[in-house]
Structure 1
Amino acid sequence: MAAAARLLQLLLLLPLGWVRPGACTDPPGGGWVAGTVPEEPRCTVERADASLTYSLFLQRFAFSRPVILGGVTDNSAFRALCTREKLLAAFGPFPVRLSTANTYSYRKVDVPFQEYVEHLLKPQDPARLGSGSGSGVPFHWHGPGFSEVIFGRKRWFLYPPDQTPHFHPNETTLAWLQHTYPTLPPALRPLECTLRPGEVLYFPDRWWHATLNLDTSVFISTFLG
Structure 2
Amino acid sequence: MAAAARLLPLLLLLPLGWVRPGACTDPPGGGWVAGTVPEEPRCTVERADASLTYSLFLQRFAFSRPVILGGVTDNSAFRALCTREKLLAAFGPFPVRLSTANTYSYRKVDVPFQEYVEHLLKPQDPARLGSGSGSGVPFHWHGPGFSEVIFGRKRWFLYPPDQTPHFHPNETTLAWLQHTYPTLPPALRPLECTLRPGEVLYFPDRWWHATLNLDTSVFISTFLG
TM-score by length of 1: 0.90
Tell me: CA distance 1:17–1:186, structure 2 relative to 1, closer, same or farther (3 Å): farther
Any conservation in 2 of the 1:19–1:219 contact (CA below 8 Å)?
no
Distance 1:160 1:108 in 2: 27
Any conservation in 1 of the 2:21–2:81 contact (CA below 8 Å)?
no
Aligned length: 225
Deviations 1:156-213 (A, max 9, x none): 0001111111222221100000011111111111000001100100000111111101
Tell me: CA distance 1:35–1:5, structure 2 relative to 1, closer, same or farther (3 Å): farther
Task: Give percent identity, aligned residues only.
Answer: 100
Distance 2:31 2:81 in 1: 12
Tell me: CA distance 1:150–1:6, structure 2 relative to 1, closer, same or farther (3 Å): farther
Which 10-residue stretch deviates more, 3-12 or 86-95? Answer: 3-12
TM-score by length of 2: 0.90
Distance 1:211 1:77 in 2: 24
Any conservation in 2 of the 1:149–1:220 contact (CA below 8 Å)?
yes
How far is the alpha carbon of 1:77 from its aligned partner? 1.8
How far is the alpha carbon of 1:107 from its aligned partner? 3.7
Any conservation in 1 of the 2:7–2:96 contact (CA below 8 Å)?
no
List gaps (5 residues or longer) in structure 2.
none
How far is the alpha carbon of 1:75 from its aligned partner? 1.9
Any conservation in 1 of the 2:4–2:97 contact (CA below 8 Å)?
no
Any conservation in 2 of the 1:144–1:224 contact (CA below 8 Å)?
yes
How far is the alpha carbon of 1:97 from its aligned partner? 2.3
- Identify the residue that residue 191 of structure 1 maps to in structure 2: 191
1:166 counterpart SS class = coil
How far is the alpha carbon of 1:32 from its aligned partner? 0.5
More helix as a share of residues: 1
Distance 2:98 2:19 in 1: 15
Any conservation in 2 of the 1:19–1:151 contact (CA below 8 Å)?
no
1:125 counterpart SS class = coil
Which 10-residue stretch deviates more, 15-24 or 49-58? Answer: 15-24
The alignment yields a C-alpha RMSD, in angstroms, of: 3.2
Distance 2:205 2:4 in 1: 31
